[in-house]
């Protein structure tokens, strides 16, 4: 059952808690914080009191077998799913909850929508609107959700499409583009909202092998030229090693190992990590 107000009414603002830095503290506040987060479907517990943080500007890759909870984390951050326990914080604001006085209660949809504006996501399937041009796919959300003037949104769309190598396709419809091109448009669309956090959910898994490299090159360039915080789920281990500051190995809804890519890929401590990486690299 979802958390009730009664279950969490003793949770107070983070700046009153000694282990959570306040705005005036020297320690930088995490951009993302999962605090004892639980997610389950019936009897299947996908996340088990998960605690982890991501600092501003960090690029973190989540690896692990299917069903280990990686994509669920992204879906919770996008509020496509709701948690069953704990609290999720984004830039010091609760995402899963909102304040009622000094206490936290489960958040309503309007509140979550406002906090979620800081987050963009690129999905496995491109999820572009086939009846809209590439331009409109990129500009509709900034215009209608952020109130960006149409001229400014058009200019931003052209800049982003230039960055992903598709400026000349701005007035095409997605159906006239390859899968790799559609995914690059989806990346541009996510960035058009100027998010602080970019979530990447197996963004190359639906692509033909020859199209994967082009999409990964775009993401590498974003990592190289921006300070956007990235949280990625991927089986592309070379990409994870190239762009990540941290790699988290998940198994059965918990973090089994957390470290820099050189350590996780070069000298993993856990046997489960070793066997998973061996299987993935052998299949690749």
Residues 150, 246 within the same domain: no
How far is Cα 169 from Cα 188, in angstroms, rounded to an integer? 13
Residues 246, 273 within the same domain: yes
**At 85, is the secondary structure helix, strand, or coil?**
strand
The model's pLDDT over 197-241, given as tens digits with 9 standing for 90+, comes to 999 999 999 899 899 999 999 999 999 999 999 999 999 999 999
pLDDT of residue 284: 59
The model's pLDDT over 14-60, given as tens digits with 9 standing for 90+, comes to 443 333 333 344 457 999 999 999 999 999 999 999 999 999 999 99
Residues 134, 248 within the same domain: no
Average of pLDDT values for 85-112? Answer: 94
pLDDT at 93 over 70: yes
pLDDT of residue 282: 76
Beta strands in the chain, from DSSP E residues, in sequence order = 32-41, 44-54, 59-63, 85-90, 93-94, 97-100, 103-106, 119-122, 197-201, 229-233, 246-251, 254-259
pLDDT of residue 126: 86
Residues 134, 262 within the same domain: no
Beta bridge partners of 196: none
Asked if residue 155 is part of any domain, the answer here is yes
**Residue linked to tokens 């690299």:** 281
Asked if residue 254 is part of any domain, the answer here is yes
Helix, strand, coil % in the chain, rounded to nearest 5: 40, 25, 35
Residues 156, 205 within the same domain: no
Task: Tell me how far CA of residue 181 lies from CA of 57, 128, 172, 178, 273, in angstroms.
Answer: 27, 11, 11, 5, 33
Beta bridge partners of 52: 34
Residues 77, 151 within the same domain: no
Asked if residue 123 is part of any domain, the answer here is no
Residues 103, 55 within the same domain: yes
pLDDT of residue 223: 93
The model's pLDDT over 141-199, given as tens digits with 9 standing for 90+, comes to 999 989 999 999 999 999 999 999 999 999 999 999 999 999 999 999 999 999 999 99
pLDDT at 6 over 90: no
pLDDT of residue 27: 56
Which strands form 254-259's sheet, in the order they lie side by side? 119-122, 197-201, 229-233, 59-63, 246-251, 254-259
The domain total for the chain is: 2
Q: Chain centroid to CA 9: how far?
A: 28
CATH label of the domain that carries residue 26: 3.40.50.300
How far is Cα 70 from Cα 255, in angstroms, rounded to an integer? 10
Q: What is the pTM of this model?
A: 0.88
How far is Cα 193 from Cα 117, in angstroms, rounded to an integer? 8
Give helix then strand counts, H and E, for the chain: 10, 12
Residues 132, 111 within the same domain: no
In which domain, by residue range, is 40 found?
5-118+195-283
Residues 133, 270 within the same domain: no
- Which secondary structure element, helix H or strand E, spans residue 196, and what is its range? none
Interacting residues of 65 by C-beta distance below 8 A, sequence separation 6+: 251, 276
Residues 58, 189 within the same domain: no
């Amino acid at each position: 059952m979802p958390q009730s107000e009664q279950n969490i009414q003793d949770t107070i603002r983070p700046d009153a808690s000694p282990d959570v830095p306040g705005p005036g503290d020297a320690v930088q506040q995490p951009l993302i914080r999962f605090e004892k987060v639980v997610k389950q479907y019936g009897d299947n517990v996908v996340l088990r009191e998960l605690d982890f943080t991501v600092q501003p500007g960090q690029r973190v890759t989540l690896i692990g077998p299917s069903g280990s909870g990686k994509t669920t984390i992204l879906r919770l951050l996008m509020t496509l799913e709701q948690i069953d326990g704990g609290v999720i914080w984004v830039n010091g604001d609760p995402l899963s909850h909102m304040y009622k006085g000094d206490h936290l209660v489960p958040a309503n949809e309007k509140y979550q929508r406002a906090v979620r504006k800081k987050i963009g996501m690129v999905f496995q399937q491109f999820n572009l609107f086939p009846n809209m041009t590439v331009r409109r796919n990129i500009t509709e959300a900034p215009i209608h959700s952020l109130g960006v003037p149409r001229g400014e949104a058009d200019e931003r769309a052209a800049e982003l499409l230039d960055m992903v190598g598709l400026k000349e396709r701005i007035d095409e419809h997605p159906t006239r583009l390859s899968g790799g091109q559609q995914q690059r448009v989806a990346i541009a669309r996510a960035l058009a909202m100027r998010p602080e956090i970019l979530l990447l959910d197996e963004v190359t898994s639906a692509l033909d092998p020859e199209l994967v490299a082009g999409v990964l090159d775009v993401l590498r360039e974003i990592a190289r030229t921006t300070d956007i915080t990235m949280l990625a789920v991927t089986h592309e281990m070379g990409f994870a090693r190239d762009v990540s500051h941290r790699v988290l190995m998940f198994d059965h809804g918990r973090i089994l190992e957390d470290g820099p890519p050189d350590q996780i890929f070069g000298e993993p401590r856990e046997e489960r990590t070793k066997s998973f990486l061996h299987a993935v690299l052998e299949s690749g």
